[in-house]
Structure 1
Amino acid sequence: MNGTRRWIGYVALTVVFALACGLLSWWQWSRRAEAVEAIELVEQNFDAAPVPLEAELPVLDDWSPSQEWQPVVMTGTYLVEDQLLVRNRPRNGGPGWEVLTPLRLDDGRVFVVDRGWLPLGSVDDVPDVVPAPPEGVVTVVARLKAGEPTLPGRSAPEGQISTIHLPQVADLVAGETWTGAYGLLESEDPAADSRPLPVVRPPADEGPHLSYAFQWIAFGVLAFVALFWGIRHERRARLEEERVAAGGEPAPERRRGRGGEDADAEDALLDAAGR
């Protein structure tokens, strides 16, 4: 009876483990689906023809995830005095800054343009050089990107921000400002003499989610294989005990020698050689 209860517990534990493996496999499938969706969105939007900003985002706080990476074109004047540096932005494993320069359009509204990335300077608080944007009226092509959430407890010196939280940026700029999305600079006309490093196309990498999903399924199956092996092994041991108790001879044990060779075969070879 105690053995039965014990194996019922083992079966229950195996079922729980297999269910957990199934949930983890499903989670990895979901992660892969998200990665595939992001890759398809890049392929669809990254090289699309630019559309007017006002047509793509007619409302200042409007945004749809399907608009990510869509190029938009606009004409205006950079507000250099309102330029901000975004702290702790990594690129190729190195820390640095992103440069946000608001662009005032002809109708007076403001769109935030991320002009690119700069590495850490000799003094950590600022880059060595922040390339100036073009002066006067400029036509800008930028790819749309959603704003970022706030980071509680994070602060930054004047002229810097810790995250691209567009309502916070809007509070620092005079005039109506788009808060649903900002733009990653693609081109400027006229072009500046130099500019921060531009955004790079996201790689089409699904990650290891598919292989992990199959691994979790395999772990769940192996749990039942181990359970059945344990049940079969214990049943054979119990039958052997009952046979011996009934007066039978114990079954000979197989001994394993070095290298995994059967010791009985080794003994037979020694006998044939006259030891």
Structure 2
Amino acid sequence: MSAPIPRSRWLAVAREIGWGRLALTALIVLVASALCVVAGRWQYGRYVAKADAIEAYEAAQTHSIAPVEEVAGAGGSLADDAQWRTVTVSGVIDADSVVALRNRPVDSTAAYQYLAWVDLEDGSAVLVNLGWAPVGAAEDTEDALAEVLTGADVTFSGTLRSFEEDDGRRDAGATRIVPAQMGDPGTDSIVPGYVVASEDCAGLCDDDGPLLEVPLPTLSLGPHLSYAWQWWAFALLVPVGAVLLTKRDLELKRDPSGSKPAPARPRRRRHPSDEEIEDAL
């Protein structure tokens, strides 16, 4: 077992490297390792969120289809087990409330998704994502919607989702699916969630309809867990790399050429000559 390095030698090496250099190296190691840990936690958080979403979706599929009023009554907040439920919506689409949701491409196609309030039979209102259309056809789509939405009763099914977080924007159109970016629903009784319409989007997504059905997001765990482990591994490797680089810099400081002395070659033993042997005898 090798003897520990005396403290005086550590101090001598530290002075040779320089206290300022050591302090700067320690600061860089701490900051870099902390950033790696934070990045790993962020990736792990995304993994947990997706795992929870998949679990909630699978649990929701075990429930039978029910009216949205029964699954998520107006007022309060959306229950955890109501997320991803398949519900039916029966009521009248408020044609004056239609708003284009911007910056939501569908299958890599620049698109507008169209939101509207639906007045339910019990007097409450629910926000519905009716469907989408290409951005280039926005004017024709809005004209077609104005003609189709005549105030007739509609019944369709869809998937219940929780409202998105409001980004505070209040200009033309909407950027988040949230009541604050919609017009007045005409009632204080609002379902605490929105419905992504399916089944031809209440007749708006059939062969002659102006809209296309909005696909649900793909639910997969993705690579976030492996990314988290990679970031945490980097957090451990940063101090190791700092030690190796500091050791290399110290070697260069002692020998600027950077070359290591070649090991001494052992001298070959010279055999005595015949004359030396005779003299020895």
CA gap of 1:201–1:151, structure 2 versus 1, over 3 A, is: closer
Secondary structure in 2 aligned to 1:75? strand
CA gap of 1:55–1:121, structure 2 versus 1, over 3 A, is: same
Q: Within 5 Å, give how 1:1-275 maps onto structure 2.
A: 1-3=15-17, 5-6=19-20, 8-9=22-23, 10-45=25-60, 48-122=63-137, 129-130=144-145, 132=148, 136-156=152-172, 160-167=173-180, 169=182, 171=184, 173-178=185-190, 180-187=192-199, 191=203, 193=206, 194-195=208-209, 196-230=211-245, 232-233=247-248, 251-252=261-262
User: What is the root-mean-square deviation of aligned Cα atoms in Å?
Assistant: 3.7
Higher gyration radius (CA):
2
CA gap of 1:85–1:17, structure 2 versus 1, over 3 A, is: closer
Structure 1, gaps ≥5 residues long: 242-249, 254-275
Distance 2:179 2:29 in 1: 50
CA gap of 1:113–1:16, structure 2 versus 1, over 3 A, is: closer
CA gap of 1:154–1:191, structure 2 versus 1, over 3 A, is: closer
Question: Which amino acid counterpart does residue 215 of structure 1 have in structure 2?
Answer: Q
CA gap of 1:132–1:219, structure 2 versus 1, over 3 A, is: same
Question: Which amino acid counterpart does residue 31 of structure 1 have in structure 2?
Answer: R
TM-score, length basis structure 1: 0.68
Question: Which amino acid counterpart does residue 252 of structure 1 have in structure 2?
Answer: A
CA gap of 1:134–1:145, structure 2 versus 1, over 3 A, is: farther
Cα deviation, 1:158-186, whole Å, max 9, x if unaligned, reads xx545433145351x33444152121112
CA contact (8 A) 1:60 1:177 kept: yes
Q: Count residues in correspondence.
A: 241
Deviation at 1:233, TM superposition (A): 4.5
Deviation at 1:117, TM superposition (A): 0.9
Structure 2, gaps ≥5 residues long: 1-14, 264-281
Which range moved further: 7-16 or 66-75?
7-16
Identical counterparts, % of pairs: 23
